[in-house]
Amino acid sequence: MSERPPSPVTAPTIGVPQVFDRTLHARRRDRAAPTYNSYSFLKQRVSEDLADRLLAINREFPTVLDLGAHSGVLASALAADGRHVIRSDISPAFCSPPLSVCADEEALPFAEGSFDLAASALSLHWVNDLPGALIQLQRALKPDGLLLAALPGAGSLGELRQALLRAETEIRGGAAMRVSPYLDVIDGAQLLQRTGFAMPVADADTIVVRYDSMLKLLSDLRGMGETAAFADRSGPPLTRGILMRAAEIYAQEFADRDGRIRATFEIVTLSGWAPAAGQPVPKRPGSAKVRLADALGVREQSAGEKPGGKRD
């Protein structure tokens, strides 16, 4: 039997806050790998969305990077049109040669200009240095290459976050962070711009999944390899009593009439292009030579003016 490649986790970037323990996260992905396809419904949904977005782009993407590939759900969707897809994952259990590379998103091993498209579905939210990872992805793209990445957004798992916070505060008088921080859609667009991507766009979609109980939700998160992997684990662990109280709060506050609870996943999708000559450049604010009102053929109104010319 061939040995599994070692974890590619690199040393922390100097000066970057280490919110996540990347080695621990890799181990949890390893543990989830054998049964991951039984819990990959979110990955499947997001991968189909990313593939659909490419259909609206009149471009060919012959060489593709699937970053944070897991079991290859996104790679399969992208390879359907004959593209050559290289899969990469931090977890050795998800890396199978010849088309897989075991790599840390914070230290990508790819040469500049390697890919026409870099895609990632539900993986980059575990990166400590997200700006650094995006800069590396931009360099790995050919000029005018496309980045398409989906991450859990700030609205994800808000119900679980509130239930655990209230339960632990009631029982202990204080609470530690138990659910990962996620990216805000506005911050995502600004981050793309800061890291050098042209024509950056960020949008958000909401997926609501219903469960019989909070414990079933936690079971699914374990199956996805998505349980918390914080670098600072100095706080006390959650007890059974806290979990049971959190489950009660969850059922009281976030259940539908049939008794099933709701779990919200906000998906933030980022897209941007590697710089290239001839790309459209946004005009400087105030440089327009035609007023929008003239272009639309309507009369311009001030902010305080109502239709008909009357003011409050």
Is 91 a member of any domain?
Answer: yes
By DSSP bridging, strand 141-152 and strand 261-273 are: antiparallel
Which tokens in the block code for residue 106? Answer: 């914070």
Strand partners, 305: 311
Inside any domain, residue 29:
yes
Distance CA 260, CA 212 (A): 5
Q: Is residue 190 part of a domain?
A: yes
**Domain containing residue 273:** 22-157+179-208+224-234+266-278
287 lies in some domain: no
pLDDT band, very low/low/confident/very high, at 278 (cuts 50, 70, 90): confident
Contact residues for 166 (Cβ-Cβ < 8 A; gap 6+): 246, 249
pTM above 0.75, yes or no: yes
Asked whether the predicted pLDDT for residue 5 surpasses 70, the reply is: no
Average pLDDT over every residue of 272-285: 77
In a domain, 31, yes or no: yes
Domain contains 7: no
**How many domains does one find in the chain?**
1
- pLDDT exceeds 80 at position 279: no
Residue 137 lies in a domain: yes
Q: Do residues 188 and 149 touch, judged by C-beta distance below 8 A?
A: no
145, part of any domain: yes
CATH number, domain of 189, equals 3.40.50.150
